[in-house]
Amino acid sequence: MSERLQKYLAKAGIGSRRSCETLIHQGKVIVNGEVAKIGSSVTDTDVVEFDNKVIRVKEDILKVLMLNKPEGVLSSSAREKNIPIVYDYLPNSFNQRNWISIGRLDINTSGLMLFTNDGGFANHCMHPSNTLDREYLVRARGEFTLEKKKQMLSGIMIEDQIHKFTDVVEGEKNGTNQWFSVCLVSGKNREVRKIFQSLDLEVSRLKRTRFGPIFLPSTLQKGKVKELEESDIDALKNYGKKS
């Protein structure tokens, strides 16, 4: 049975389907001795090579890791200068390169990040159609009004895209600072910060506390990793179907 090359590469742990498509487009994938093209399909009898190595899909047990990402850490596998990256915190017992991040956090945002050894599962979790919502704890400075809350929920046009929260809960207020708990479904780059900034609210702290049905445990210290139980993985698989 044949399958799309990018799906085959993702199942082999090379990266997400989108990143694998980029590798194919860049001419970095070889199939049966020839540079692969976008749209190619392969079977188990084809010889697929990447980075001068033959790629085989292994029937590995699906694993998912949870990281409590600290601030000041890049959500990237590429190192810039001496800035730490999230992969520095993953266990050496499994080839770090084969861990695929399920979504990213910007360098100044802390909290819950998930990683998996299965590209298909990563694609499921990140695909917009599965509506896995994210929850964030926000501390912001500025005047917050009912009108601003309505705008956050109805949607704000930023850089030719609509950005909005599905829920906004006001928390403790200290002077000019106030805490909020916000939820959103999409995973646009820096979306939480952009929404607050568009309403003249300055975000001073941002932490992701939930991804779909998975909550960040209060006992998981910054920089520490925990492997998810099978029941948690099943909950992630089924969460989008129920939403």
Catalytic positions, please?
A: 106
Beta bridge partners of 35: 30
CB distance 93 to 36 below 8 Å = no
Residue 104's contacts (CB-CB under 8 Å, 6 or more residues apart) are: 75, 76, 113
Classify residue 71 by burial, with Cβ atoms within 10 Å: 0-12, 13-18, 19+. middle
Q: Which two tokens stand for residue 238?
A: 């089924």
Tokens encoding 149: 């809350």
Q: Is the CB of residue 10 less than 8 Å from the CB of residue 119?
A: yes
